Amino acid sequence: MSAAEPVIAGMHPDPSVCRVGEDYYLVCSSFEYFPGIPVFHSRDLVHWTQIGNALDRTSQLLLTPETPSSAGIYAPTLRHHDGRFWLIVTSVSHGGGTMVFTATDPAGPWSDPVRLPGVGGIDPDLAWDDDGTCWCTVAGVGQYRVDPSTGETFGEARELWSGTPGAKAPEAPHLYRIGDHWYLLIAEGGTERGHGVSIARGRSPQGPFEPCPANPVLSHRGTDEPVQNTGHADLVPGPDGSWWLVLLGVRPGGGTPGWHVLGRETFLAPVSWVDGWPVAGPVGATPPWPLHPGPAEPGRDDFDDGVLRPCWISVRDRSEQHCTTRERPGWLTLHARGAGLDDPTVVFVGRRQQHRSCRVRALVDAAAGSGGLAVRLDEEHHYEIEAGSGEVRVLARIGPLRTVVAARAVPAGPLVLHVRVDRARELRDARSGPDTVSFGVEASDGTLTVLAALDGRYLSTEVAGGFTGRVIGAYAATGTVHFDWIDHEPLD
């Protein structure tokens, strides 16, 4: 693994990790997507397998059409205490707030939420003192004494430490007992290029906290490192007594200012201890112990199972009424509602784009409607290839502009639609984009006709704003659309 590679690629930001025996478990933010909070398992901190989604029922996660993109589920913290897994998270959608979920098996099922109405702010953390007192620390950085089993809060928030003077957005706090000290790890500097990780320590979980003289202990601000925006970290011990950080970062591409299109990804960095303070090593370093690759996520899905794999996500909700693999066995069936990708109620099933160069193909039957394959960032930034009414169209939405880029008549019957992303390998000039997104249709003999090739920068966070990355998948714009298979293939 090179220093530029994530351990979980694609839109997997705000990682939080815990170790139980020889097993590691990790969760990430999921924003407006359902099911929410992907859950991963690893035996070596490098190879991760998604084992489920913590929030897979509307009783746990209700995202309405009024929930904006890049809202929803923010910054979960995962901990193991007293024989149970505890997951605390903020939902910034209507009726959300701070919530705690529990499970005996991290693969699920997870409980319905216990709400903590007395806890304000985002990025909540849980830590238990030796006497069983539970502390919830939030961005800002404030702390509450809570009972996570009931949601009761005892007293007002107490300010602990506001981070480096002059640094903005102290957030993502995590509190740990390590040796004789309590350590308070935070992110600061904003989640863009100035992002960093800082730490303080004290003799009590309530402080006072002394900042590390070498803060930030990890940041790539102002460097030419291929991974940027490094921050929002969580500490975890290794089996040999070593310590490690999981953190988020991005891999910008193209010219100035650099565009990242996959979203914020999960990276790994080693930690050494000097004079009682953590010193972060290179982002992307590999642990010294034996690696356990584990099962790989299949790229192709033939939809032969009764349920969708955990990697498939939808926009805000997913109901059997609109999305099913049982109506036409061996096919994914989508029943449209509202309109297409511009509409917050679009019927969409996709996977996070995890490779900077990739190809996605699908066999689509749009005889009873219109739909196809889409590359989605949000409602105002997406490209798609859509079949229906005897033709195939390439559509582009960039901010207030929507246009039909290309169209071609096609014969009746199912057809293979094709999306290809090619990472830019060299800069033509300082304005060069990060990649090209091409759309085409395949004939019955496998011949590919490319209808359009679009600049990928317009489906990037630097253009669209927000916190998410690309998701590529199937959608229905009108009527009913069937998908026999969808294949995601890396080309890196």
Task: Give the catalytic positions in this structure.
Answer: 14, 171
Question: Would you say 206 and 195 are in contact if contact means Cβ atoms under 8 Å apart?
Answer: no
Beta-bridge partner residues of 136: 126, 144
Determine the 3-state secondary structure of 482 from DSSP.
strand
Beta-bridge partner residues of 362: 417, 486
- The per-residue DSSP string of 163-196 comes to -STT----EEEEEEEETTEEEEEEEES-SSTT-E
Other beta carbons within 10 angstroms of residue 309's beta carbon come to 12
With tokens 């205490």, the residue in question is 81
Question: Would you say 119 and 136 are in contact if contact means Cβ atoms under 8 Å apart?
Answer: yes
Question: Would you say 115 and 96 are in contact if contact means Cβ atoms under 8 Å apart?
Answer: no
Beta-bridge partner residues of 106: none
Beta-bridge partner residues of 49: 41
- The rounded distance, in Å, linking the Cα atoms of 297 and 50 is 8
Determine the 3-state secondary structure of 459 from DSSP.
helix
Helix (DSSP H) and strand (DSSP E) numbers for the chain: 1, 35
- The rounded distance, in Å, linking the Cα atoms of 472 and 330 is 20
Residue 107 Cα to chain centre, angstroms:
17
- The rounded distance, in Å, linking the Cα atoms of 442 and 370 is 17
- The rounded distance, in Å, linking the Cα atoms of 475 and 342 is 12
Element (DSSP H or E) covering residue 393: strand 391-398
- The rounded distance, in Å, linking the Cα atoms of 425 and 435 is 9
**In the structure encoding, which two tokens stand for residue 79, read together?**
């901990």
Amino acid at 318: R
- The rounded distance, in Å, linking the Cα atoms of 404 and 392 is 10
Total residues found in the chain within this entry:
492
The phi, psi pair for 463, rounded to 5°, reads -95, -50
The phi, psi pair for 86, rounded to 5°, reads -120, 130
Element (DSSP H or E) covering residue 463: helix 461-464
- The rounded distance, in Å, linking the Cα atoms of 237 and 19 is 7
- The rounded distance, in Å, linking the Cα atoms of 377 and 396 is 12
